[in-house]
Amino acid sequence: MLSHYIDLSWRSFKRTPLVSFLMVLAIAIGIGVTMTSLSVYHMMSMDPIPNKSKKLFAVQLQTMDEVETWFSSDDLPYQLTYKDTTNLLNADLPYKRAAMMKTGFSVHLNSDKVKPFFETTRVFSRDAFEMFNLSFIHGGVWSIEQEESAAPVVVISQSLSKKLFGSDNSVGQTLYLDDLSMRVVGVIKDWQLHVKYYDLNNGSFNDPEQIFIPFSLIKANEINTWGNTNGWKYEVVKTFSDKLNSEKVWLQFWVQLNNAAEKQAYSEYLANYIAQQQTQGRFNRKDAQYKLRDVNEWIAYWEVVNEDNKIMVALSFMFLAVCIANILGLLLAKFLRRAPEVGVRRALGASKRQVFYQHIVEVAMLGLFGGVVGILIAQLGLLGIRQSYSYYDSLANMDLIMLLTAPVIAIAACIIAALYPAWLVCKTNPSTYLKTQ
Amino acid sequence: MLEIKPIFNALLRSKVGAVLLLIQIAITTAIVSNAAFIINDRIEYLNQPTGYQEDNMFKFNVMMFGTDVDLIQQVELDEATLRQMPGVVNAVHINAVPLTGGGSSTTFRLKPAPDKAKTDTASYFETDEHGLDTLGVELIAGRNFTQDEVVINRDFSKHPNVALATKALMDELFPDGDGLGKIIYMGDQPLKVVGIIGMMKGPWLKLEERKDKSVILPLLYPHKLQQFLVRTEPGQRAEVMKQIESVMHQSYGKRVIQDLKGLDKKKANYVAEDLLMMRMLVILISVLVLVTALGIFGLTLFNINKRTKQIGTRRALGARKSAIVKFFVVENSIICLAGLVLGVCGAVVLGQQLMTQYSVPALSYEYVAITALGVFVMSLFAVIGPAKRAANIAPSIATRTI
C-alpha cells in the first residue's frame, strides 16, 4: 500500500509542480537555517570522549581566603597552584592522574633542513596519554624514571613527525625546543578534538598540541605557562621559584575515577588534604571546598556553548515555525483543491484512514526532499561560518547525527503542518462532490 | 465607508488561512525586532572608536631560541633597526598589544598593598618612551615619560616609578579630577602618574568595565618571547611588513618571527565571533521577511482563486475595480494588524526572555515600532499584486459559470 501511496504522491507533485516546489523550498530554507545553527551547537556541546567522560574529573580547590571572590560562577579558581598540583600528582593513590600546562617553543633541528617555527606544547604527566585515549603508533610514553629525573624527552604527533623528519617513526631522533635538545620517545596518532575540553582556560576550540613533554621539566627548566596565570592576593613574585611557591593558579589537573566508590574515596582524600594544608596556614576558609567535575560537567561549567549560539538556535527554530505555517497554508490550498477527487475515492470505498495516510505519505515525501535540499543550504551556511570565523573550522560541520537529524526534523515538521489539512480533506463528504460530477 | 463588516464576515468563513497569516506576522515581528536590536548592538560594539590608527599599525612576535646573545641589547638593537626602516613612524617592544584579547591586567590602588584602599582594575602595557607615539594615542594632560625613567632589567630588581594612565582610570580613582601628579600603587610599588591619556582601548573590548582603563609603564623586561608593535606612515604598512622577517633575521638569526599581522586584522580576529553572529542574524531576518512576504502573497492568491465567482458577481453587479482591490487590502490589513498586536507582545516577551536568560540588553521599543511598521508596509506590497489581479477578473466569468 505504501508504494502505491508513494506513487500517488509522485503523480501529485508532477500535477502541481509550482506549489510543490514552493513547499519544498519553504521547508528547505527552514531546515537549512535551523541545521546551520543546530550543527554548530551540536558540535560545541558534543561529548568529546564518550567512553570516558564520566570517569575523568577536573579538580578544583578553593585556595582563596574567606572573603575573596573569583570570576567563576561558584567562586572556585579554575586552575591549581604548583604546590597543590605536585602534591596531588605525587600522592600515594591508585588513581590515574594528569597534571598539565600549555606552553610553547620555537621548534628546530639545529640545522638548515627545517625552518624554525613556533609550536604550542603541552606539559603532561605520564598517565595523561592513557587517560585521554592518546594512542601511540611508535614508541611510547616516557618512563617513570625519566619523568622523575626530568629527562629531556618528548612525545610528538604523527603530523609533526612527518613535518620534521619526513617519516611517521621518529623515535630516537633529536629535536630542539628553543635551546633544549629533546629526544623523541614516542609518536602518537594526531589528537583530533572539536572542543579542547582538557584546558578550557586557554580557549575552547584551539587545535590540540602536537608536542608533549614531562611535567617535571617545568621546575627543572623553568618553563613558563603560555596560558593564564591568575592571582588573588598580593605576593612578591620575582623569581621562578617564587612562582612555584606562590598561591598563583596556572596549572590544570585531572584524575580518573572509575566508579562512584573511587570518586567518594578521592573526595575524602581531597577533604583530608585541605584539612592538612589548613594546619600549614593555607585554605583559610571555614568550608573547605573542592570540586570534581566530569568532562561534560566541566564543559557546561565553562559555558563552552556560548549565549550567541543558544540565541541563534532558539531564533532558527522560531524561523522554522514560520516556514511550517507557510507550508500549512500551501497544503490547505493544495489538498482542498483535490477534494472532488477524494470524494470519488471515498465513494468508491476508501476509508477515511486510508485517505489520511495517503496525504501524510505525500507530505512526508515533501519533507524528505526539503530535508535533502535543506542539508545543501545548511552546508552553504556552514561554509559561510567557516569563512567568516576560522576558529569555528572544526565546529561548523555536520556529522552523521546531524545529517540524519535534518530529514527527520524536516519530515516531522511537514507532518505536523499536514495534520490539519489532511484531516480536513479526509472528512470530505463524498456526496457533495458526486453531485457535481 | 469601508465595508469592514462584510470583510470581517468573509474572514470568519476562512479562519484557518487568516490565523496562519496572523501567526506568521506575529512571529516575524517578534524575531525581526529582537534580531534587529541585537544586530544594532553588535554594530555599535564592532564600530566603537579605539583611539588607534589600526590601518597603519602592525605587530609581530619574536621567539628567541639562540642563547649566545644578550636579550636586553638585542631588543634595543631591534627597536633601533625598526625605527630606522623607511616608512616606519615608530616602533616598540611591548608586553601586550591592544585589541587582541591577550594582555595583562592588575589592580591599581591608592595605598600600597596590603593596606585597604580604593582600587580599580586596569590593563597595563610595559614599553619605553616611544610607546605613546607608537600607539598613537592622545596625551591630554601632563607629559610622556623620559628615556631616563625607563627601567630595563630581566629580574624585577628595579621597578619603574612613573606611569601614564587613561582618563577613564583616573576618573575612577580620583573623582575630583586632580589625579595628575598623584601616586598610585601596583601592589606595593608606587607610581607617579605623570601623564593622562584620552581614548585608548585595552586588549579586551568585551570587558566593559576594563576596556577603557589602561596604564603604560616605562619598563622593558625582555623574555625569550617578545612582542613588537610598529606604526607606519599611511600606505606604507604592507611594504614594511614584507621586510620584517629578513630585517630581524639579518640582525640576529636564531629566532622565529610569528603572528606578523596588522592591528586591524588582529582586531577583526578578536571580534570575529560577534561579526559572525551579526551576519547570521542579518541573513536570518532577510530570509524570514522574504518567507513571510511570500506567505502573504500565496495566501491572498489562494483566497482570490477561491472567490473568483464571488468577485465576478460583484463586478457584474457594478463594483469598481478599486473596490475589489480595497476589499483585499482591508482584509489583509485586519489580519496584519491583529498579527502585529500579537507580534508586538511576543517581541516584548522574547526581549525580556533574552535579557533575563542571556546578557542581551533590554530591548528598546522603537525597534518593535519600526519593525511593526515595516511588516505592515511589506504586507501591503505583498497583497497589492494579487488584489489587482483579482480586480481584473472579468464579470463574464461569473455569468459563465452560474
Between B12 and A151, the more confident residue is A151
- Grid coordinates given for A179: 635551546
The CA distance from B36 to B347, in Å, is 11
- A405 and B CB contact within 8 Å: no
Per-residue pLDDT tens digits for B106-143: 999 999 977 888 899 999 999 999 999 999 999 999 99
- Which pLDDT score is estimated for A76? 92
- Which pLDDT score is estimated for B402? 45
Contact predicate B94/B126, CB 8 Å: yes
Nearest CA in chain A to B253: A116
**If you average pLDDT over residues A290-308, what whole number do you get?**
93
Per-residue pLDDT tens digits for B325-339: 888 888 889 989 999
- Give B43's pLDDT tier (boundaries 50, 70, 90): very high
Contact predicate B289/B378, CB 8 Å: yes
- Which pLDDT score is estimated for B387? 85
Return the percentage of chain A with pLDDT > 70, whole number: 99
Q: What one-character DSSP code corresponds to residue A351?
A: -
Between chains, do B279 and A388 touch, taking CB under 8 Å as contact?
yes
Pairing of strands A180-188, A153-157: parallel
For residue A429, pLDDT over 80 is answered with no
Cα-atom radius of gyration of chain A, to the nearest Å?
30
- Give A436's pLDDT tier (boundaries 50, 70, 90): low
Per-residue pLDDT tens digits for A101-140: 999 999 999 888 888 999 999 999 999 999 999 999 999 9
The CA distance from A142 to A129, in Å, is 10
Where does residue B237 fall: left (phi above 0), alpha (psi -120 to 50 degrees), or beta otherwise? alpha
Strand, coil or helix: B122: strand
- B256 and A CB contact within 8 Å: yes
- Give A435's pLDDT tier (boundaries 50, 70, 90): low
Nearest to A315 among B31, B67, B259 (CB): B31
For residue B401, pLDDT over 60 is answered with no
Return the percentage of chain B with pLDDT > 90, whole number: 62
Q: Which residues of A touch B38 (CB under 8 A)?
A: 311
- Which pLDDT score is estimated for B206? 85
Instruction: Tell me the residues of chain A between 85 and 104 that have a Cβ less than 8 Å away from chain B.
Output: 104
For residue B398, pLDDT over 80 is answered with no
- Which pLDDT score is estimated for B207? 80
Residue A112 CB-density burial (10 A; 0-12 exposed, 13-18 middle, 19+ buried): exposed
- Give B17's pLDDT tier (boundaries 50, 70, 90): confident
Q: What is the DSSP string of A257-298?
A: --SHHHHHHHHHHHHHHHHHHHTTT-S--SS--EEEEEHHHH
Between B295 and A24, the more confident residue is A24
- Grid coordinates given for B19: 490565523
For residue A305, pLDDT over 80 is answered with yes
- Give A321's pLDDT tier (boundaries 50, 70, 90): very high
Q: What is the DSSP string of B28-54?
A: HHHHHHHHHHHHHHHHHHHT---SS-G
- Which pLDDT score is estimated for A437? 45
- A101 CB neighbour count, 10 Å cutoff: 26
H-helix or E-strand spanning residue A123? strand A117-124
- Which pLDDT score is estimated for A346? 83
For residue B396, pLDDT over 80 is answered with no
Q: Which residues of A touch B256 (CB under 8 A)?
A: 106, 116-118
- Grid coordinates given for B70: 644578550
| Residue reference for cell 620575582 | A238
Per-residue pLDDT tens digits for A63-116: 988 878 887 888 899 999 999 999 999 999 999 999 999 999 999 998 888 889
Instruction: Tell me the residues of chain A between 319 and 358 that have a Cβ less than 8 Å away from chain B.
Output: 319, 321-323, 325-326, 328-330, 332-333
H-helix or E-strand spanning residue B323? helix B321-357
- B399 CB neighbour count, 10 Å cutoff: 11
Choose among A241, A109, A217, A165: nearest CA to B65: A109
Return the percentage of chain B with pLDDT > 70, whole number: 98
Task: Give counts: helices (H), strands (E), chain B.
Answer: 12, 12
Contact predicate B202/B122, CB 8 Å: yes
**If you average pLDDT over residues A275-294, what whole number do you get?**
90
- Give A174's pLDDT tier (boundaries 50, 70, 90): very high
CA distances to B16, B139, B188 from B150, rounded to whole Å, are: 78, 18, 19
Pairing of strands B255-262, B183-186: unpaired
- Grid coordinates given for B69: 646573545
pTM reported for the whole predicted model? 0.87
H-helix or E-strand spanning residue B182? none
